[in-house]
């Protein structure tokens, strides 16, 4: 899978990325969707495609520098306060639905789906549709490079997650929230602001976490499954690893 004081994502308080943020965004890749006739009334959207579009563009712009081998997916997460009768995330179904057509979005074993970057989907105002009450579920970006073990995360991937999430959240912000963010970041970007920090979830409850980069190591703050990430600190390379010690092992 969020307030502007700031808890983005699970705790927003974001940081860094590199000068490539100023690079031009490549043209959106056009994706041909297999036509499916819609019957009945459309369900409540999980998220409008237009709201996700800025995050997809951020990944297209920064992926080559921060995570050249990485892949962006979005994870469906059941909210902590959701009714237990609602199914687990792996049992829901998602689709991309437009004015006249719809196509399914497959979930993998970790309840993640891929979302194409497409100007056509934006122009036609597609929605991401969930077959369950949307109040019970949330989403979050998930960027992974190959070869990273279960008990670790690559810093460049987490920097990309920060950018994707912050761009989507900024698009949803009202005037007051945008103004507060601009004050906190002095007009800069959330993921490059050292005055803020970024925290996200490990796969299990943590005993500790540390960042390792060549011969440099530093302990990170943790709480439950959450760990803070120095995404804005350029002294840590994109290849640095956050290594976890799990509490129940």
What are the DSSP E strand ranges found in the chain? 45-48, 71-78, 94-97, 102-105, 112-113, 127-130, 137-144, 152-154, 198-201, 206-213, 216-220, 222-223, 226-229, 241-246
Place of tokens 């990325």: 17
In Å, how far from its chain's centre is CA 11? 12
Q: Which residues contact 92 (CB under 8 A, 6 or more apart)?
A: 76, 107, 130, 131, 132, 137
The domain spans of the chain are 19-246
pLDDT at residue number 8: 39
Determine how β-strand 71-78 pairs with β-strand 45-48: unpaired
pLDDT at residue 43, as a whole number: 60
pLDDT the model gives residue 186 = 58
Query: How much is the pLDDT for 172?
Result: 77
Residue 33: is it exposed, middle or buried by C-beta count within 10 angstroms (0-12/13-18/19+)? middle
pLDDT lower than 50: segments of the chain: 1-42
């Amino acid at each position: 899978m969020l307030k502007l004081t700031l808890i983005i994502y699970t705790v927003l308080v974001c940081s860094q990325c590199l000068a490539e943020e100023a690079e031009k965004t490549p043209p959106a890749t056009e994706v041909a969707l297999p036509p499916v006739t819609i019957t009945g009334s459309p369900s409540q959207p999980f998220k409008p495609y237009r709201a996700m579009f800025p995050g997809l563009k951020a990944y297209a712009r920064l992926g080559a520098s921060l995570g050249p081998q990485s892949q962006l997916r979005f994870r469906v997460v059941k909210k902590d306060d959701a009714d237990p009768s609602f199914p687990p995330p792996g049992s829901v179904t998602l689709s991309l639905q437009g004015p006249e057509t719809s196509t399914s979005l497959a979930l993998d074993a970790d309840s993640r789906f891929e979302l194409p970057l497409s100007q056509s989907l934006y122009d036609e105002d597609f929605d991401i549709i969930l077959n369950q009450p949307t109040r019970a579920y949330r989403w979050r970006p998930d960027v992974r490079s190959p070869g990273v073990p279960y008990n670790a995360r690559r810093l460049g991937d987490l920097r990309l997650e920060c950018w994707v999430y912050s761009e989507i959240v900024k698009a949803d912000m009202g005037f007051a929230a945008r103004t507060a963010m601009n004050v906190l970041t002095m007009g800069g970007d959330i993921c490059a602001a050292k005055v803020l920090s970024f925290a996200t979830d490990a796969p299990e409850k943590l005993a500790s976490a540390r960042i390792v980069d060549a011969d440099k190591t530093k302990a990170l703050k943790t709480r439950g499954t959450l760990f803070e990430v120095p995404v804005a600190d350029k002294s840590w390379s994109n290849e640095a690893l956050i290594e976890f010690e799990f509490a129940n092992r």
